Homo-oligomer: A and B are copies of this chain.
């Protein structure tokens, strides 16, 4: 099953101007963004080759906006901890400063400039797109077809009004992992856990 996550990132400095010693503060919650990358792509002693995660840095005006894509099938140097994962992402952001096109900042990590709204609109039009948010349809009852899923969720900052408008207007299903308001990384773990069970028991797939 193809598994894709798209995280809307709001407060991380897009030029990579932050210290690895204060990820939860000055780095605009890069700790949780790095944790999302880490838990989406790794299992115990391995990587999820079927998974791709994209960070969309939304809050800056378009000339400054960036996209980082991490491909589980090709990524290297991804260690399990927040700090080293944040270092890989920081490197990508720094490398992208003069860019007008995508570049691979390290194996399996591609960074480039985007128009964030056009980018989000495009992703929401892809097959299997869903919006992970509170009050949606239970994940366990949400069908996923052969094309896999593309799950859009926000970092610790709520979606901006313009993003919410796009999400609501897109018509993609709203899906929830449970009754509590969880951290983005926890939501990712629950999505993977559900899909692992479906793949292991295809006959019981919704």
Binding site for B on A (CB under 8 A): 20-21, 23-24, 31-32, 35, 39, 42-46, 79-84, 140, 156, 177-183, 185-186, 189-190, 192-193, 196-197, 199-200
Taking a contact as CB atoms under 8 Å apart, the answer to whether A43 and B180 are in contact is yes
7 A–B contacts, CB within 8 A, in A order: A35-B35, A39-B185, A43-B183, A178-B196, A179-B197, A186-B193, A190-B193
Taking a contact as CB atoms under 8 Å apart, the answer to whether A183 and B81 are in contact is no
How far, in angstroms, from A180 to B31 measured CA to CA in the complex? 25
Q: A190-B189, A190-B190 are in contact. Are A83 and B21 (CB under 8 A)?
A: yes
Q: A24-B84, A80-B32, A82-B81 are in contact. Are A181 and B39 (CB under 8 A)?
A: no
How far, in angstroms, from A44 to B157 measured CA to CA in the complex? 10
How far, in angstroms, from A23 to B81 measured CA to CA in the complex? 8
| Copies of this polypeptide in the complex | 2
User: Contacts of A46 on B, CB cut-off 8 Å?
Assistant: 181
User: Contacts of A42 on B, CB cut-off 8 Å?
Assistant: 183
How far, in angstroms, from A189 to B185 measured CA to CA in the complex? 9
Q: A44-B156, A189-B190 are in contact. Are A80 and B179 (CB under 8 A)?
A: no
7 smallest CB-CB distances across A and B, nearest first, come from A31-B81, A189-B189, A179-B200, A24-B81, A44-B181, A178-B196, A190-B193
Name 20 extra pairs, CB < 8 A, besides A24-B83, A178-B200: A20-B21, A23-B81, A23-B83, A24-B80, A24-B84, A32-B80, A35-B35, A39-B186, A42-B183, A43-B180, A43-B181, A43-B182, A44-B181, A81-B82, A82-B82, A82-B83, A179-B197, A179-B199, A186-B192, A190-B190
How far, in angstroms, from A31 to B143 measured CA to CA in the complex? 35
Closest to A156 in B: B44
Taking a contact as CB atoms under 8 Å apart, the answer to whether B197 and A178 are in contact is yes
How far, in angstroms, from A181 to B81 measured CA to CA in the complex? 18
User: Contacts of A190 on B, CB cut-off 8 Å?
Assistant: 189-190, 193
